[in-house]
Amino acid sequence: MKSKILVTGAAGFIGFHLVSKLLSVGKYEIIGLDNLNAYYDVNLKFRRLEEHGIDAKHLNENKIIASLKFDNYKFIKSDIANNEFIVNLFIDEKFDYVINLAAQAGVRYSIENPRAYTHSNIDGFLNILEGCRISNVKHLLFASTSSVYGLNSKLPFSEKHPAQHPISLYSATKKANELMAHTYSHLFKLPTTGMRFFTVYGPWGRPDMALFLLADAIVEGKIFRVFNNGEMTRDFTYVDDIVEAVSRLIPKPPQYDEDWTGIEPTGESSSAPFKVFNIGNGEPVQLMDCIKVMEECLGLKSNLVFTEMQAGDVPATTADISLLEDYIDFRPKTKVKEGVEKFIEWYKSFFIVD
């Protein structure tokens, strides 16, 4: 019998790619869930769903529909903050594994719309934890973010480093998710794994992310604002590497760490069945270098305006991925040039009609 997996945020960028990966494996029965909110163009979310055989424009709230392409995939339009529905879904479906990717994303958006983040990232995540608790889920994996490192300036960022100084509400809610998950792991022996994603990019990406905005600006001949006067470094991580890591983590729930001690606690493991992992490329790239690759791929020049650092942002991120590599024998490997070329190939096919 196939194991049953719930993927929340299934119409989102990473969720879409993860569902594609799990469908290709063929050994899971998958239910995707997404509220299809209008944070960015919902038509892109509809197109992602259609790639998986879901009739996206005829969805009914809280109703499961079957894929027209895959006999092991179903989808529900629902909100993880809907407590009654989510709890009953867990009771009825008896999931083996849960991957929670549903969240209100975006660092800067959180400054102007704080309640959207507590709604999805706090209330919604609590419902996921409760559902996992009452239905004895074998392993909950959930999206965290490199933003939890906040004001940390020691690079590369390591899971062993404290992450106590967030600089946006988005990152604060993600750190709260880690703390909430650890509590459930400790109290209810629920195996949980937090995944700190680093600057994910690739085909079918979010239109609010930097590389997508840059491609739009170059093609349309518009100004692109480069923050911190171009002195920005990011650990760009190609989406296929992200979902490969996630898929390898699914059947490896955390165990109790008998060597862990409260006298000298570290953040990467626990006496509870809980872990956090950085999932990044481990090779930071200057934003200006990435812009040059984008220009080469499009055959166009960008119109850049250099400005000061934006609120809630940091100048550099780099992931120490040694713990992840040791745990699942995998190291993200897609170079930025290769990843940007694949992104632009998709971008042209999706948005540019010859």
Catalytic site residues? 170
Can you tell me whether residue 193 is helix, strand or coil? Answer: strand
Structure tokens at 327: 């745990």
Residues 6+ apart with CB under 8 A from 350: none
- From CA 208, how far away is CA 8, in angstroms rounded? 20
Residues 6+ apart with CB under 8 A from 37: none
- From CA 215, how far away is CA 172, in angstroms rounded? 30
- From CA 179, how far away is CA 194, in angstroms rounded? 10
List, in sequence order, every residue forming a beta bridge with 99; answer none if it has no partner. Answer: 7, 141
- From CA 144, how far away is CA 278, in angstroms rounded? 9
Asked if 253 and 336 count as a contact pair (C-beta separation under 8 A), the reply is no
